[in-house]
Amino acid sequence: MKAILLLALIAVSAFAYSAQYEELNLLWSTWKNLHNKQYGVGEEAARFAIFVDNYNKVTQYNAEHSNVKLRLNLFADMTSAEFKHKQVGSAFFEDNEEFVKENTIKYEAIAYPGSVDWRNNNAVTPVKNQGQCGSCWTFSTTGVVEGFHAIKTGQLVSFSGQQIVDCASGAGQGCSGGWPYLAIQYAAQYGLEQESTYPYTAENGQCQYNAGQATKANSGYSFVTNYNVDALKSAIATMPVSVLVEADQNVFQFYSSGVLGANDGCGSTLDHAVLAVGYGSIDGQDAFFVKNSWGDSWGQAGYIYLSTDGSANGGAGVCGVLSQPVVPN
């Protein structure tokens, strides 16, 4: 009898394993079709194994969290190390505290409204996609200059991130990263061409800058008082703001919905530049509205919502969003 029960148990386990394997295979095929993925025979098995590992991570996270949900998005065939190398690790932080203080506007004493969303006020262009080029710093820069220009002139135009990749050598290293504040200074000095005349290629290229096509929207940059929720909200009330975050964690890689909070798995080791375009209540939680540069299939149509909790990460904010905000002037 014991032998029969053991065999039955093994048969049920094998059936369950087989059913799960078939389910994952179907999910894998659907995901590949959705994201137009094709692999060689050897790579297919390796990528499927990574996909299954990420499936387990996402499933476990969703079971343990109710306020934030993850999903198998376009990065589901990447390991954490590959994701960090290809999509983040490319926004440089200015660590000279005296220099930052000398170039800071103190917004914290300025009154601000209960909510702001520049997407509703013709100051934010559609979500862009940096591809597998570490150019997030350039898209954070074009986004903040686009907003500044739109608010000042009433005209929203899409500025060229590729121009900054190719030409702003003093501000960064193209697809290997750079400093948003120096890129904003570059925009002040040389102006930016529109994306239509200097299109994005997702790779380093020779500078094709044409001064006759460029718009000088700003005269310089200013840091916003860091580690201060009121200061960042006040700054956002005047224009979209370039911010730095840590984005190399699973919760950022697979983010789908909800307001990311202090205990949801995001640190403050800055490696990615994004754009804060507003703040307000999301499902009863106070949040910053943050535009990313990974295309509109990621997150909430290209956006992520970060709690305004100023105590997170020792005052750096959720994902470090309060660490080094910067705006054009």
The active-site residue out of 226, 272, 313, 319 is 272
Give the number of other Cβ atoms within 10 Å of residue 218's Cβ: 21
Q: Which residue is catalytic, options 250, 292, 313, 319?
A: 292
Q: Is the dihedral of CA 288, 238, 172, 127 positive or negative?
A: positive
- Per the annotation, the verdict on 136 as an active-site residue is yes
- E-strand ranges in 178-253 read 221-224, 241-245
- The answer for residues whose C-beta is within 8 angstroms of residue 31's C-beta and 6 or more apart is 37, 51, 72, 76
Strand ranges inside the chain, DSSP E = 68-70, 104-105, 116-117, 221-224, 241-245, 255-260, 272-282, 285-291, 303-307, 326-328
CA distance 101 to 301: 35
Q: How far is the C-alpha of 156 from the C-alpha of 150, rounded, in Å?
A: 5
- Distance, CA of 72 to CA of 133 (rounded, Å): 21
Report which secondary-structure segment, H or E, holds 180.
helix 180-190
Taking each continuous run of H as one helix and of E as one strand, the counts in the chain are: 9, 10
Express the helix, strand and coil content of the chain in percent, nearest 5 each: 40, 20, 40
Asked whether the beta carbons of 255 and 75 are under 8 A apart, the reply is no
266 labelled catalytic:
no
The CA-to-CA distance between both ends of the chain, in Å, stands at 82
- Concerning whether 292 is annotated as a catalytic residue, the answer is yes
SS in 3 state form for 84-102? HHHHCCCECCCCCHHHHHH
Catalytic residue among 136, 167, 175, 319: 136
Tokens of 107: 């917004």
Place of tokens 């660490």: 323
The residues assigned a catalytic role are: 136, 272, 292
